[in-house]
Amino acid sequence: MHVKLSVNINKIATLRNSRGGNNPDVVKAAIDCQHFGADGITVHPRPDERHIRYSDVREIKKIITTEFNIEGNPAEDKFVDLVMEVLPTQVTLVPDVPGQLTSSVGWDTISQSKYLRGIIEVFKNAGIRVSIFVDPLEDMVNGAADTGTDRIELYTEAYAKEYATGNKKAINAYVAAAAIAEKKGLGVNAGHDLDRYNLKYFAQHLPNLLEVSIGHALITDALYYGLENTVQLYKRELAGK
């Protein structure tokens, strides 16, 4: 199965915002990533717009030729309004709190089931595929199936940390979670701290994996290897080459 690579370009925006102006150009980065082989572009606009701005999302929508994935917390009305305006291919719902540095936990799909069902229905009625960020826990995956979501995105920080120490058994929880998702009819995405060292092993052990979203590691590698080479490098890792 071809696993899609969606490149998260938030860090490009972080660099731009640190100096002001439009260098580097976030929209051009999205165009280039697509040209270099990325299967999609991911953005995660936060309420303070400290990296991707809401205006960036609107401009990227105009040039997108692949899949467009917008991440964020639907508790923010501003975020929901943006998604409904832009109508991306996919919205990935993440339970971030205001000011959070980066995503750090999946949804409690049991206690927040009613809320998730309601907001997921809003997006699906607009023709947007919905994925929700979850930890690789049986109860949370089963709970996700009850929300009406199309997919889950497995939060992979724990895997990345353990794999870096040589503990390949860290994959086991994700394999089990993906198997439950498949049984429940859910598509499986993954993201957070995946990089060129741990990506191949992860993809090889989740045969039903559909998509990974990678930002920080890929953009960091691009500083050394160039953006085109890096996108292709990650594509090869996903293909097991």
Please report where in the chains the tokens 């503990």 appear, as a residue. 167
Q: Would you say the C-alpha torsion 26, 239, 1, 205 has a positive or negative sign?
A: negative
User: Rounded to 5 degrees, what are φ and ψ at 139?
Assistant: -65, -40
Q: 229 in helix, strand or coil?
A: helix
51 is catalytic: no
- Strand-pairing partners, residue 42, are 8, 69
Instruction: With beta carbons less than 8 A apart as the criterion, state whether 199 and 1 touch.
Output: no
Interacting residues of 47 by C-beta distance below 8 A, sequence separation 6+ = 76, 78, 79, 98
Catalytic one of 51, 153, 192, 211: 192
Catalytic one of 71, 153, 211, 237: 71
For residue 178, which of 207, 149, 156 has the smallest C-alpha distance? 207
44 is catalytic: yes
CA gap 223, 113 in Å, rounded: 41
CA gap 31, 112 in Å, rounded: 37
User: Rounded to 5 degrees, what are φ and ψ at 126?
Assistant: -90, 5
CA gap 192, 96 in Å, rounded: 14
Which stretches does DSSP call E strand in the chain? Answer: 4-8, 40-43, 67-72, 90-93, 129-134, 151-155, 187-191, 209-214
71 is catalytic: yes
Instruction: With beta carbons less than 8 A apart as the criterion, state whether 10 and 215 touch.
Output: yes
Q: Which residues are catalytic?
A: 44, 71, 192
